[in-house]
């Protein structure tokens, strides 16, 4: 068994080391890469096909272990005889394909959620089921008729939690690696040999990929990698529970292993509910973003959060194998680790979830408040110096960071007006959102560039429409009065 596990680990690592550079080149050639800007922290285009190298390496490894090697050593179980491996592999493949399509085509959030639910329901119907939860000290909690609901929520929730935490170089891979180490221990502790082999393959893939994904990353997981790892982090514990000494009993430690991504996802949902934006709306309020905005480097953020994740894995292992007097102190220390992480991210209460600086939402309120008078004053401006004063006042009142108007006419490209707010050290670290609008008048081409502090990577529709009207009004008024 030890030889098979080591072989699984080595094969997966070697396959991933060989395949990742190939998919890195393929990603750039296909145009599947993340460009700098918005809430992304990369400074150059990075391919997003890392999930393909992990999935294919994992698949090749298991094919060798369960088929090719079994041809020579009949004592190893064939994959066909391991019925629960079917939903494990099939669900992982579906999750990977969904993420790959999203990386290439960008699927709407509601459709992704529906497909994730369908994958989770399919896995449940094929046998990956949780019927009870083992909670040390309290005992076993039977789920009864809610078995399907817990299983589906667990799989879908884990997939999205892992995807949410994938925000900076090496973070998602590092957290997944720590969690797989904990799952490996529980598979060994439960005597599920097949689960040990599968887990070793996943550890080998993730560790090898982390070499390319650690800051500065040369390739990203992409949604395909995050969805695949998320599904395996959710489904493999269910597989181990089904094959363990108490079939269908899910140990609470599997949840403890993933406290960090679950905490980040819970805070993201609360933050977006407080701000009144869609839960699926991307922002820069995640734990890793807060640490970055607080002055941490990417390497330090990844190391800090991964270390805390490893601490939770150790805590989960102790909860499995420890006695009552060992478990209670571990739970207290775990609560302290959560508190420490929140303090590092400057979150002391629910009100701290709302960005301290002007958000995209409050910006829209300011724009609606000052836009009517501004548009009237611009139309009535008698000369260009007066118009510039009106522009300055409007930018200041709406708390813009930068506003620039450029004009291209007769082959000449000139900046006709530029406004920039005063910056302190803190404001330079704040995430910013920028938008450009273009207006044509006769033989002149005007470009309006607006930039402001915002937690979000997308402009609200009402604000986008208002900025477009403002650009059109300025372009028409200034062209006819001052630049024609």
Model pLDDT for residues 50-74, shown as the tens digit of each residue: 999 999 999 999 888 877 655 444 4
For the cut 90, the answer to whether the pLDDT of residue 77 exceeds it is no
Look at residue 92 in the predicted model and tell me its pLDDT.
94
Look at residue 427 in the predicted model and tell me its pLDDT.
46
SS3 228: helix
Q: Give the angle subtended at the CA of 140 by the CAs of 136 and 142, to the nearest 5°.
A: 150
**Rounded Cα–Cα distance for residues 66 and 197 (Å):** 10
Token pair, residue 434, equals 């920028």
**In the block, residue with structure tokens 């800007």:** 37
**Rounded Cα–Cα distance for residues 265 and 269 (Å):** 6
> Taking residues 220-238, what's their average pLDDT?
94
Q: How far is CA 15 from the centre of its chain?
A: 25
Look at residue 380 in the predicted model and tell me its pLDDT.
83
Query: What CATH number labels 360-483?
Result: 3.30.450.40
Look at residue 121 in the predicted model and tell me its pLDDT.
95
For the cut 80, the answer to whether the pLDDT of residue 463 exceeds it is no
**Rounded Cα–Cα distance for residues 171 and 291 (Å):** 13
Identify whether the C-beta of residue 318 lies closer than 8 Å to the C-beta of residue 332.
no
Name the average pLDDT for the chain: 83
Q: Residue 36 — very low, low, confident or very high, per pLDDT cuts 50/70/90?
A: low
For the cut 60, the answer to whether the pLDDT of residue 10 exceeds it is yes
Using a pLDDT cut of 70, give the percent of the chain over it.
Answer: 87
Look at residue 56 in the predicted model and tell me its pLDDT.
95
For the cut 50, the answer to whether the pLDDT of residue 22 exceeds it is yes
Select the more confidently predicted residue: 174 or 136. 174
Q: Residue 76 — very low, low, confident or very high, per pLDDT cuts 50/70/90?
A: very low
Q: Residue 37 — very low, low, confident or very high, per pLDDT cuts 50/70/90?
A: low
Q: Residue 43 — very low, low, confident or very high, per pLDDT cuts 50/70/90?
A: low
Q: Count of CB atoms within 10 A of residue 353's CB?
A: 16
Select the more confidently predicted residue: 148 or 478. 148
Select the more confidently predicted residue: 107 or 280. 107
393-435: pLDDT as tens digits = 888 888 888 888 888 877 677 888 888 887 644 444 556 778 8
User: DSSP state, 146?
Assistant: G
Give the CA distances from residue 155 to residues 74, 123, 145, in Å, rounded to whole numbers and listed in that order. Answer: 34, 9, 17
> Taking residues 221-226, what's their average pLDDT?
92
**In the block, residue with structure tokens 């949410």:** 164
- Phi, psi (deg, nearest 5) at residue 45: -60, 130
What are the boundaries of each domain within the chain?
2-261, 360-483
Token pair, residue 430, equals 């704040």
Report helix angle 109-125 to 85-105, nearest 10.
170
158-190: pLDDT as tens digits = 999 999 998 888 899 999 999 999 999 999 988
Q: Residue 457 — very low, low, confident or very high, per pLDDT cuts 50/70/90?
A: low
Look at residue 475 in the predicted model and tell me its pLDDT.
81
The region that residue 47 occupies, defined by phi over 0 for left and psi between -120 and 50 for alpha, beta otherwise, is beta
Nearest C-alpha neighbor of 434 from the set 407, 468, 459, 414: 459
Token pair, residue 475, equals 């372009």
**Rounded Cα–Cα distance for residues 484 and 237 (Å):** 70
**Rounded Cα–Cα distance for residues 221 and 16 (Å):** 13
Comparing 6-20, 221-235, 287-301, which segment has the lowest mean pLDDT? 287-301
b/e code 184-209 from CB counts within 10 Å (16+ = b): bbbbbbbebbbbbbbbbbbbbbbbbb
Look at residue 70 in the predicted model and tell me its pLDDT.
52
Those residues with Cβ within 8 angstroms of residue 376's Cβ, 6 or more apart along the chain or in another chain: none
Look at residue 84 in the predicted model and tell me its pLDDT.
79
295-348: pLDDT as tens digits = 788 888 999 999 999 999 999 998 888 777 778 888 888 888 888 888 888 787
Nearest C-alpha neighbor of 139 from the set 256, 249, 242: 249
Look at residue 354 in the predicted model and tell me its pLDDT.
64
**In the block, residue with structure tokens 């510039």:** 388
Length of the chain: 484
Identify whether the C-beta of residue 180 lies closer than 8 Å to the C-beta of residue 233.
yes
> Taking residues 133-149, what's their average pLDDT?
88
Identify whether the C-beta of residue 157 lies closer than 8 Å to the C-beta of residue 225.
no
């Amino acid at each position: 068994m030890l030889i098979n596990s080591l072989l699984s680990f080595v094969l997966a690592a070697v396959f991933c080391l060989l395949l990742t550079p190939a998919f890195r080149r393929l990603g750039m050639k296909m145009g599947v890469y993340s460009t700098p800007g918005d809430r992304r922290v990369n400074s150059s285009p990075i391919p997003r096909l890392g999930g393909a190298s992990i999935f294919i390496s994992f698949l090749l490894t298991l094919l060798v272990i369960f088929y090719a090697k079994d041809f020579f050593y009949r004592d190893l179980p064939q994959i066909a005889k391991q019925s629960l491996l079917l939903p494990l592999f099939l669900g992982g493949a579906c999750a990977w394909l969904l993420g790959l399509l999203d990386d290439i085509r960008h699927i709407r959030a509601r459709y992704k959620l529906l497909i994730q639910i369908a994958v989770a329901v399919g896995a449940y119907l094929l046998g990956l089921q949780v019927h009870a939860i083992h909670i040390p000290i309290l005992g076993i909690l039977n789920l009864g008729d809610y078995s399907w609901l817990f299983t589906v929520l667990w799989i879908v929730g884990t997939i999205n939690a892992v995807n949410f935490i994938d925000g900076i170089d090496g973070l998602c891979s590092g957290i997944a690696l720590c969690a797989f180490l904990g799952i490996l221990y529980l598979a060994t502790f439960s005597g599920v040999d097949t689960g040990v082999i599968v887990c070793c393959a996943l550890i080998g893939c993730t560790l090898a990929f982390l070499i390319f994904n650690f800051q500065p990353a040369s390739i990203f997981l992409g949604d395909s990698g995050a969805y695949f790892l998320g599904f395996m982090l959710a489904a493999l514990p269910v597989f181990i529970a089904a094959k363990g000494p108490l079939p269908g009993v899910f140990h609470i430690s599997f949840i403890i292993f993933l406290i960090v991504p679950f905490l980040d996802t819970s805070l993201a949902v609360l933050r977006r509910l407080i701000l009144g934006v869609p839960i699926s709306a991307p922002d820069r309020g995640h734990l890793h973003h807060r640490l970055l905005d607080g002055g941490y480097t990417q390497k330090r953020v990844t190391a800090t959060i991964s270390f805390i994740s490893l601490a939770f894995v150790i805590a989960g292992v102790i909860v499995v194998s420890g006695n009552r007097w060992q478990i209670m102190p571990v739970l207290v220390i775990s609560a302290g680790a959560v508190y420490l992480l929140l303090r590092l991210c400057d979150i002391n209460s629910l009100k701290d979830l709302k960005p301290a600086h002007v958000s995209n939402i409050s910006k829209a309120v300011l724009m609606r408040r000052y836009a009517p008078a501004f548009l009237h004053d611009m139309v009535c401006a008698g000369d260009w110096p007066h118009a510039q004063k009106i522009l300055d006042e409007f930018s200041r009142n709406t708390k813009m960071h930068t506003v620039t108007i450029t004009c291209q006419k007769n082959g000449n490209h000139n900046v006709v007006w530029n406004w920039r707010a005063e910056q302190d050290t803190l404001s330079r670290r704040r995430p910013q959102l920028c938008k450009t609008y273009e207006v044509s008048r006769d033989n002149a081409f005007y470009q309006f560039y607006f930039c402001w502090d915002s937690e979000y990577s997308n402009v609200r529709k009402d604000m986008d429409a208002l900025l477009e009207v403002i650009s059109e009004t300025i372009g028409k008024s200034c062209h006819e009065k001052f630049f024609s």
